[in-house]
A and B are shown apart, each in its own frame.
Chain A
Amino acid sequence: MGAEEAGLREQLSQAVAHRCALQEALAAVEAERNALRWEEGKLRGEYARTHEALVRLHARTADLHGALNVARAEKERLEAALAGALPTGTAEPAPPRPAAAEPEPPAQPKLRPLPTPPVIEVRDLCKSYRVPARPVDTLKERLVHPIRSSRSMPLEALRNVSFDIHQGEFFGIVGANGSGKSTLLKLLANVYAPDSGTIRTAGRIVPFIELGVGLNPEFAAYDNVVISGVMMGLEPEEARARYPEIIEFAGLQDFTELKLKNYSSGMRVRLAFAVMAQVDADILLIDEVLAVGDAEFREKCLARTNQLRDEGKTIVLVTHSMGTMVEECDRSILLGGGEIRAIGDPREVARRYERELAAGEGDAEEERDEKPAIRLVKG
Chain B
Amino acid sequence: MTQAQAALELRPNPGPQALGGDLRRFWVLVRLSAVAQFKHLYAGSLLGYFWTLGRPLAMFGVIYVVFSEVLGIGAGIVNYPAVLLLNLLIFQFFTDATSRALPSMVSNESTLRKMEFPRAVVPGAVVLAAVFTFVLNLVAVLAILLFTGLEPRATWVLVPLLCLAMLIVATATSFVLATLFVQFRDIGQIWMVTTLALLYSSPIMYPVETIPNDFRWMLIVNPLAPIFELMRKWAVDPGAPDVAAAAGTPWGWYGPLLISLAICVLAVVLFRRKARTLAELL
Does A219 lie at the interface of the complex (its beta carbon under 8 Å from any beta carbon of B)? yes
Q: Closest Cβ of chain A: how far from B193's Cβ, in Å?
A: 13
Chain B neighbourhood of A266, CB < 8 A: none
CA distance A194 to B14 in the complex (A): 9
Q: Is A39 an interface residue (CB 8 A)?
A: no
A191 x B116 contact (CB < 8 A):
yes
- Establish whether residues B25 and A214, one from each chain, have CB atoms under 8 Å apart when the complex forms: no
Q: A371 to chain B: closest CB distance in Å? A: 14
Interface residue from B7, B10, B108, B116 paired with A200 (Cβ < 8 Å) = B10
Is A117 in the interface zone, CB < 8 Å from B? yes
CB distance from B76 to the nearest CB of A (A): 43
Q: In the complex, which residue of chain B has the Cβ closest to the Cβ of A138?
A: B186
Chain A stretch 194-215: residues in CB contact (< 8 A) with chain B: 194, 198-205, 207, 209-210, 212-215
Tell me which residues across on chain B come within 8 A of A215, comparing CB atoms: 110-111
Hey, which chain B residues are within 8 Å of A219, CB to CB? 36, 40
Q: Report how far A205 CA is from B10 CA in the complex, Å.
A: 12
Give, as a whole number of angstroms, the nearest-CB distance from A374 to chain B.
13
B28 within 8 A of A: yes
Chain A residues lying within 8 Å of B113, measured Cβ to Cβ, are: 186, 191, 209-210, 214
Tell me, in angstroms, the Cα distance from A227 to B111 when the chains sit together. Answer: 11
Checking A117, A187, A210 against B13 with a beta-carbon cut-off of 8 angstroms, the contacting residue is: A187
Known contacts: A138-B186, A193-B277, A218-B40. The answer to whether A201 contacts B11 by CB under 8 A is yes
A243 to B43, CA, bound (A): 22
Flag A220-250 by CB within 8 Å of B: 1 or 0 each: 0001001110111000100000000000000
A230 touches B36 (CB 8 A): no
Nearest CB on A from B44, distance (A): 9
Residue A133 at the chain B interface, CB threshold 8 Å: no
B280 touches A192 (CB 8 A): yes
Identify B115's interface contact among A118, A200, A207, CB under 8 A.
Answer: A207
The answer to whether A212 and B110 have CB atoms under 8 Å apart is yes
Q: Return the contact of A129 from the options B16, B187, B280 (Cβ within 8 A).
A: B280
A164 to B108, CA, bound (A): 32
Q: Are B11 and A192 within 8 A (Cβ)?
A: no
CB distance from A14 to the nearest CB of B (A): 51
Contact of B10 among A192, A202, A236 (CB under 8 A): A202
Report the nearest B residue to A187, measured CB to CB.
B13
Instruction: Please report the C-alpha to C-alpha distance between residue A231 and residue B25 in the assembled complex, in whole angstroms.
Output: 8
B216 at the interface (CB under 8 A from A): no
- What is the bound-complex CA distance between A190 and B117, given in angstroms? 9
In the assembled complex, which residues on chain A have CB atoms less than 8 Å from the CB atom of B14?
190
Size category of the B interface is: 35 or more
Chain A: minimal CB distance from B178 (Å)? 16
Q: State in angstroms the CA–CA spacing of A230 and B121 once bound together.
A: 12
Please give me the residue from chain A that is nearest to B106 by CB atom: A379
B120: Cβ under 8 A from any A Cβ: no
A140 to B190, CA, bound (A): 12
- Tell me, in angstroms, the Cα distance from A250 to B197 when the chains sit together: 50
A204 and B110 alpha carbons, distance in the complex (Å): 21
Of the candidates B36, B39, B115, the one whose C-beta lies within 8 Å of that of A213 is B115
CB–CB B280/A377 < 8 A: yes
- For B7, the chain A residues whose CB sits under 8 A away are 202-204, 282
* Contact call A190/B13, Cβ cutoff below 8 A: yes
Does A202 contact B279, Cβ atoms closer than 8 Å? no
Q: Is A139 on the interface with B (CB-CB < 8 A)? A: yes
Cross-chain contact A117 with B115 (CB below 8 angstroms): no
A167 at interface, CB cutoff 8 A: yes
Q: Which chain B residues in 6-56 approach chain A with CB under 8 Å?
A: 7-16, 25, 28-29, 32-33, 35-36, 39-40
B15 touches A212 (CB 8 A): no
A-chain residues with CB within 8 Å of residue B32 when the two chains form the complex: 223, 226-227, 230, 236
Q: Is the CB of A191 within 8 A of B115?
A: yes
Residue numbers in B under 8 Å from A218 (CB-CB): 40
Measured between beta carbons, the chain B residues less than 8 angstroms from A210 are: 113-114
Closest CB in chain B relative to A24 CB, distance in Å: 46
A241 to B: closest C-beta gap in Å? 15
Residues of chain B contacted by A366 (CB below 8 angstroms): none
A169 → chain B closest CB, angstroms: 14
Given the contacts A190-B116, A219-B40, A236-B28, A199 and B13 also touching, CB distance less than 8 Å: yes
Decide if A216 is an interface residue (CB 8 Å cutoff).
yes
B100 contacts across to A, CB distance below 8 A:
none
Cβ contacts under 8 Å, B29 to chain A: 227, 230-231
Residue on B with the closest CB to A272?
B114
Tell me whether A192 and B114 are in contact (CB under 8 A).
no
Quote the shortest CB–CB distance from A288 to chain B (angstroms). 13
Which residues from B are CB-within-8-Å of A137? 183-185
C-alpha gap A186/B116 in the complex (Å): 9
In the bound assembly, the distance between CA atoms of A194 and B276 in angstroms comes to 10
- List, in ascending order, chain B residues with CB within 8 A of A192's CB: 15-16, 279-280
Q: At the interface, yes or no: B112 with Cβ under 8 Å from chain A?
A: yes
Interface residues of B in 260-282 (CB under 8 A from A): 276-277, 279-282
The distance in angstroms between the C-alpha atoms of A189 and B112, with both chains bound, is 11
Query: By the criterion CB–CB under 8 Å, are B114 and A191 in contact?
Result: yes
- C-alpha gap A186/B279 in the complex (Å): 10
Q: A118-B10, A199-B13, A201-B11 are in contact. Are A214 and B39 (CB under 8 A)?
A: no
Q: Are B11 and A202 in contact (CB under 8 A)?
A: yes
Give the nearest-CB partner of B121 in chain A: A231
A291 on the interface (CB 8 Å rule)? no
The answer to whether B16 and A121 touch across the interface, beta carbons within 8 angstroms, is: no
Give 17 new A-B contacts, CB below 8 A, not counting A201-B11, A379-B282.
Answer: A117-B8, A129-B280, A190-B13, A198-B12, A200-B13, A202-B10, A202-B11, A207-B115, A213-B114, A214-B112, A214-B113, A216-B111, A219-B36, A227-B29, A227-B36, A228-B115, A231-B29
Q: List 11 A-B contacts (CB under 8 A).
A: A119-B8, A190-B16, A191-B115, A192-B16, A202-B7, A207-B115, A207-B116, A209-B113, A210-B114, A214-B112, A377-B280
**What 4 pairs between A and B have smallest CB-CB spacing?**
A193-B15, A214-B111, A190-B116, A200-B10
